[in-house]
Structure 1
Amino acid sequence: MKTATRQDLVNLGFSRYYAQKIFKECKELLVARGYSFYRNSKIKRIPVSVLEEVLNISWEE
Protein backbone atom coordinates (compact mmCIF):
# COMPACT_ATOMS: atom_id res chain seq x y z
CA MET A 1 0.00 0.00 0.00
CA LYS A 2 1.37 3.38 -0.99
CA THR A 3 1.25 6.05 1.67
CA ALA A 4 1.74 9.81 1.70
CA THR A 5 2.64 12.50 4.21
CA ARG A 6 1.79 16.17 4.55
CA GLN A 7 5.14 17.00 2.97
CA ASP A 8 4.17 15.00 -0.12
CA LEU A 9 1.13 17.25 -0.50
CA VAL A 10 3.33 20.33 -0.17
CA ASN A 11 5.59 18.89 -2.87
CA LEU A 12 2.51 18.59 -5.11
CA GLY A 13 2.06 22.35 -4.84
CA PHE A 14 -0.35 22.79 -1.94
CA SER A 15 0.46 25.30 0.78
CA ARG A 16 1.24 23.92 4.23
CA TYR A 17 -2.15 25.14 5.46
CA TYR A 18 -4.13 23.31 2.75
CA ALA A 19 -1.93 20.23 3.05
CA GLN A 20 -2.84 20.04 6.75
CA LYS A 21 -6.55 20.55 5.99
CA ILE A 22 -6.53 17.83 3.32
CA PHE A 23 -4.61 15.48 5.58
CA LYS A 24 -7.09 16.06 8.41
CA GLU A 25 -10.06 15.47 6.12
CA CYS A 26 -8.54 12.19 4.91
CA LYS A 27 -7.92 11.01 8.47
CA GLU A 28 -11.50 11.86 9.44
CA LEU A 29 -12.76 9.87 6.45
CA LEU A 30 -10.67 6.87 7.51
CA VAL A 31 -12.01 7.09 11.08
CA ALA A 32 -15.56 7.24 9.73
CA ARG A 33 -14.86 4.05 7.77
CA GLY A 34 -13.86 2.24 10.94
CA TYR A 35 -10.10 2.72 11.08
CA SER A 36 -10.14 4.25 14.56
CA PHE A 37 -6.35 4.16 14.95
CA TYR A 38 -6.18 7.16 12.58
CA ARG A 39 -7.47 9.27 15.49
CA ASN A 40 -3.94 9.08 16.87
CA SER A 41 -2.15 12.35 16.16
CA LYS A 42 1.18 10.54 15.87
CA ILE A 43 0.17 8.83 12.64
CA LYS A 44 1.88 10.84 9.94
CA ARG A 45 1.08 8.72 6.88
CA ILE A 46 -2.19 7.95 5.14
CA PRO A 47 -3.00 5.71 2.16
CA VAL A 48 -2.66 7.35 -1.24
CA SER A 49 -5.99 5.83 -2.30
CA VAL A 50 -7.80 8.04 0.23
CA LEU A 51 -5.95 11.11 -1.01
CA GLU A 52 -6.93 10.25 -4.57
CA GLU A 53 -10.55 9.95 -3.50
CA VAL A 54 -10.64 13.23 -1.55
CA LEU A 55 -8.71 15.27 -4.14
CA ASN A 56 -10.21 13.45 -7.14
CA ILE A 57 -6.79 13.03 -8.73
CA SER A 58 -4.59 10.15 -9.82
CA TRP A 59 -1.37 9.84 -7.83
CA GLU A 60 1.41 8.86 -10.19
CA GLU A 61 5.08 9.03 -9.39
Structure 2
Amino acid sequence: MVTITKHDLIELGYGTSQSASIIRLAKCLMVEKGFAYYCSKRLARVPVSAVEEILGINLEIEEKIHA
Protein backbone atom coordinates (compact mmCIF):
# COMPACT_ATOMS: atom_id res chain seq x y z
CA MET A 1 0.00 0.00 0.00
CA VAL A 2 1.38 3.38 -1.00
CA THR A 3 1.08 6.05 1.68
CA ILE A 4 1.39 9.82 1.77
CA THR A 5 2.23 12.45 4.39
CA LYS A 6 1.60 16.15 4.80
CA HIS A 7 5.11 16.85 3.53
CA ASP A 8 4.48 14.83 0.37
CA LEU A 9 1.36 16.93 -0.30
CA ILE A 10 3.37 20.11 0.22
CA GLU A 11 5.87 18.86 -2.39
CA LEU A 12 2.92 18.39 -4.77
CA GLY A 13 2.03 22.08 -4.38
CA TYR A 14 -0.60 22.10 -1.64
CA GLY A 15 -0.27 24.65 1.17
CA THR A 16 0.84 23.74 4.67
CA SER A 17 -2.53 24.03 6.38
CA GLN A 18 -4.39 22.59 3.39
CA SER A 19 -2.07 19.55 3.46
CA ALA A 20 -2.66 19.05 7.18
CA SER A 21 -6.42 19.33 6.64
CA ILE A 22 -6.35 16.73 3.83
CA ILE A 23 -4.42 14.28 6.03
CA ARG A 24 -6.88 14.89 8.90
CA LEU A 25 -9.86 14.20 6.61
CA ALA A 26 -8.18 11.09 5.21
CA LYS A 27 -7.64 9.78 8.75
CA CYS A 28 -11.33 10.36 9.55
CA LEU A 29 -12.30 8.58 6.35
CA MET A 30 -10.16 5.57 7.24
CA VAL A 31 -11.71 5.44 10.75
CA GLU A 32 -15.19 5.53 9.19
CA LYS A 33 -14.16 2.58 7.02
CA GLY A 34 -13.33 0.62 10.18
CA PHE A 35 -9.58 1.17 10.52
CA ALA A 36 -9.32 2.30 14.16
CA TYR A 37 -5.52 2.41 13.76
CA TYR A 38 -5.93 5.87 12.18
CA CYS A 39 -7.44 7.36 15.39
CA SER A 40 -3.92 8.05 16.63
CA LYS A 41 -3.02 11.75 16.83
CA ARG A 42 0.63 10.93 16.22
CA LEU A 43 0.01 9.07 12.97
CA ALA A 44 0.81 11.32 10.03
CA ARG A 45 0.78 8.84 7.14
CA VAL A 46 -2.37 7.75 5.27
CA PRO A 47 -3.04 5.66 2.17
CA VAL A 48 -2.86 7.56 -1.11
CA SER A 49 -6.23 6.03 -2.05
CA ALA A 50 -7.89 7.86 0.88
CA VAL A 51 -6.42 11.20 -0.22
CA GLU A 52 -7.48 10.53 -3.82
CA GLU A 53 -11.01 9.80 -2.61
CA ILE A 54 -11.14 13.12 -0.74
CA LEU A 55 -9.65 15.19 -3.56
CA GLY A 56 -11.50 13.38 -6.34
CA ILE A 57 -8.38 13.07 -8.48
CA ASN A 58 -5.72 10.43 -9.08
CA LEU A 59 -2.29 11.29 -7.67
CA GLU A 60 0.78 10.01 -9.47
CA ILE A 61 2.80 9.00 -6.42
CA GLU A 62 5.75 6.64 -6.59
CA GLU A 63 6.40 4.52 -3.55
CA LYS A 64 9.41 5.83 -1.64
CA ILE A 65 11.46 3.71 0.72
CA HIS A 66 11.81 5.65 3.97
CA ALA A 67 14.94 4.64 5.85
Q: Which amino acid aligns with 2:35?
A: Y
Q: Equivalent residue for 2:5? A: 5
1:42 positional shift? 1.6
Alpha-carbon shift at residue 57 of structure 1 (Å): 1.2
RMSD (Å), alpha carbons: 0.9
- Count of equivalent residues: 61
Q: Which residue of 1 aligns with 2:16?
A: 16
Q: What TM-score, normalized to structure 2?
A: 0.84
Q: Does 1:59 align with 2:50?
A: no
Structure 2 residues without counterparts, runs of 5 or longer:
62-67
More helix by share: 1
| % identical equivalent positions | 36
Offset of 1:5 from its aligned partner?
A: 0.4
TM-score, with normalisation over the residues of structure 1? Answer: 0.92
